[in-house]
Amino acid sequence: MTRTITAFFDDRSDAQAAVERLQAAGLGADDVRIHDKSSPGYRDDSYSSGSQPGIWASIKNAFLPDDDRHAYEEGVRRGGYLVTADVDEARADAAVRVLEEANTIDIDERSQQWRAEGWNRPAQGLAAVEHTGSEQAIPVVEEQLVVGKREVARGGVKVRSYVTETPVHEQVRLREQHVEIERVPVNQPLSAVDDAFQERSIEVSTTGEEAVIGKTARVVEEVRVFNSEDERVEDVQDTVRRTDVDIEDTRTRPEPR
């Protein structure tokens, strides 16, 4: 499934930088677009509607409520730039993270600021009283609730690895050779074959053991980080408006003769 992620920027350079970062993350050039006053469908004198989608006509998977769509349109009208990215469901989280790290504008906060300054989008679908010759018509208008979805950031998890050192104590038995000299008293006659007055030397070598330290590295655990997804059903409540017509008959009828 493909979804459209939206982001708003005040400066064209910031919008272009976000596009380049999305493309570096693997999105195609046709999947990421910048919309401004020069985009097809843009109108400076009205907002989009179901019959007149405006700049949203080319954005197939952006299912946004009217308030959000009109806030983005007002931002474009005020000189801003709308970036849309068509991404597969599996790559949506990565694209959102890329846009979070860009110099994006919080469109909800910005639209509240505009409303505080007096901006109020015109109501859609309201028409004046229509006149046809001597006949007058008042349209009865009814709002319908349209519920859409949009991508929002929910934070994330950062996992990092680092190296620690732990002292280790082991014991090992080592053997050591020693040379010992012992004088033993002897009292016996010298044999005829012994040469008593010959110079002699005896060498005895010794050996010893010493500890040798070696280390081996083994993988003992893996920490895996991944996204899982579930669905929930949320009840959406709002009010819809409808125009009702009251008829007051003030005609006078002539009395019968």
Tell me the pLDDT tens digit for each residue of 10-46: 999 999 999 999 999 888 888 899 999 998 888 888 8
CA distance 103 to 105: 7
Domains (ranges, CATH) in the chain?
2-125 (3.30.70)
β-pairing, 130-132 vs 32-35, is unpaired
pLDDT reading at 124 higher than 50: no
pLDDT digits (tens, 9 = 90+) for 161-177: 778 888 888 888 988 88
- pLDDT at residue 74, as a whole number: 92
The β-bridge partners of 84 are 6, 33
pLDDT value for 61:
67
Q: Which two tokens stand for residue 92?
A: 């949506």
Give the rounded distance of the alpha carbon of 133 from its chain centre.
60
Residue 141's contacts (CB-CB under 8 Å, 6 or more residues apart) are: 125, 126, 127, 241, 242, 243
Predicted TM-score (pTM) of this structure: 0.48
CB burial string 101-121: b at 16+ within 10 A, e below: ebebbebeebbeeeeeeeeeb
What was the pLDDT predicted at 13? Answer: 93
Indicate the pLDDT class of residue 180, thresholds 50, 70 and 90: confident
